[in-house]
A = this chain, B = another copy of it.
Amino acid sequence: MSTGPLTGKTVIDLTTALAGPYATLLLAGLGARVIKVENPARGGDTSRNNSPYVTADGLSMRRTSDDDMSVSMMLRGRGKESILLDLKRPESREVLRDLVREADIVVENYSAGVTARLGIDYASVRDLNPRLVYTSISGFGATGDHGDRKAMDTIIQALSGVMMTAGEPGDPPVRFGLPIGDLVAPLFAVIGTLSAVMHAERTGEGQHVDVSMLGALTSLVACEPFDALESVGFPLRTGTYVPRLAPFGTFRAVDGWFALCGPTDQFAEGVLRAIGRADLIGSADFGTRDARVANADRLHGLIAGWAAERMLAEALAALHANGAPAAPVRSTAEAVRDPDVTARGEVVPLVHPKFGHFDGLYGSGLPVVFSRSLVDMSAPAPQLGEHTDAVLSELLGYDEQRIASLRGAGAF
């Protein structure tokens, strides 16, 4: 039987909310053993208390029983083990130190300064395990002094410039509907973590891996030479259309929208043919890329006029028959049900540990198809503290008496 490519690796997961837990979710999906440490004093990860919940009767705005689980936790907790540790207590920190000795990786996304105050930052635990890779995800990075600047996704989006890349010049800022600040940092955190594990395997040296949400998102912004484009006269915000790539934009058919993208001569000819204007192929106004850019408004107007009288399926069929790149603008509900996407496991059904799957409840898969290795994003999320005893006895070798004594002392 095949296993995940990270089989044999153990991750101590000190994360909460979205950015950190998404990183460890990916590591779990790739086959690592992820032990999620939750704070009993606060009811565990804050995601456990995000409405809505899955109950025996389906979705509910409010929790109705101890078995209910938030959709957020069902998504982000998949394939992880949950143990309780109140890290404000010295007994609990001692347990954590034992866990770190057994681990390959620690991932944390505490607010700045918290791990140092608790004595569980990289400097405090590195001597326990010289090969340890210790990954921190924070709003602004572990370097510099950021005081108590908060790092919610919308704050990161605002600072990164992405809000000024969508919409048209003069429009208000446009917030991306995906929490892209929360989602991009963990991808870089996983890249950094795996790279550092490879380094540790080659050299025996662990290290700290420090990823900033703002830096991660800003680096993506800097993948496009927006400055250079603007300085030579290409505006940054172009709304529905992109004149410099004309024909390029989203167009409204009778029953829905489609996106179209035909910057080359070949694609543009296909578009003109599809809209019944083969007469314009090779014309002075539309025959070359420069001409199409100069006359983009007219070209887009012709396409919009044609689309306005056609059903979406008819418009797309005509464009595809003529080799023009075009696609329907789908809702998220349609997109996550795409049979090709679900067949590849890029989106998977969510399963409640007790109540099973409810129709229509989907979650992220791990969008990598390996020819040999297994990826698994189908395991349900744990209930709070479900694995405390098992991890302490099996991984750490604590006996029943020691576990009972720790519990009695309030360690968990």
- Measuring CB to CB, which residues of chain A are less than 8 angstroms from any residue of chain B? 4-6, 8, 18, 22, 26, 30, 51-52, 59-61, 71-72, 75, 122, 140-144, 146, 148, 150, 152, 154-155, 157-167, 172-180, 183-185, 187-192, 194-199, 201-202, 205, 207-212, 214-216, 218-233, 236-237, 240, 248, 250, 252, 257-259, 261, 323, 325-336, 338, 340-341, 343-344, 346-347, 360-373
Known contacts being A196-B5, A227-B360, A259-B154, is A367 close to B188, with CB within 8 Å?
A: yes
**Set B122, B161, B327: member contacting A158, Cβ < 8 A:** B327
Known contacts being A5-B198, A52-B229, A195-B6, is A340 close to B141, with CB within 8 Å?
A: yes
| A214-B52 in contact (CB<8A) | no
Number of copies of this protein chain within its complex: 2
A227→B349 CA distance, assembly (Å)? 12
Inside 8 A of A8's CB, which chain B residues have their CB?
A: 202
| A172-B222 in contact (CB<8A) | no
Inside 8 A of A367's CB, which chain B residues have their CB?
A: 185, 188, 211-212, 215-216, 218-219
Inside 8 A of A369's CB, which chain B residues have their CB?
A: 141-143, 209-212
**Set B60, B179, B207: member contacting A372, Cβ < 8 A:** B207
| A340-B259 in contact (CB<8A) | no
| B210-A155 in contact (CB<8A) | no
A152→B340 CA distance, assembly (Å)? 18
| A215-B346 in contact (CB<8A) | yes
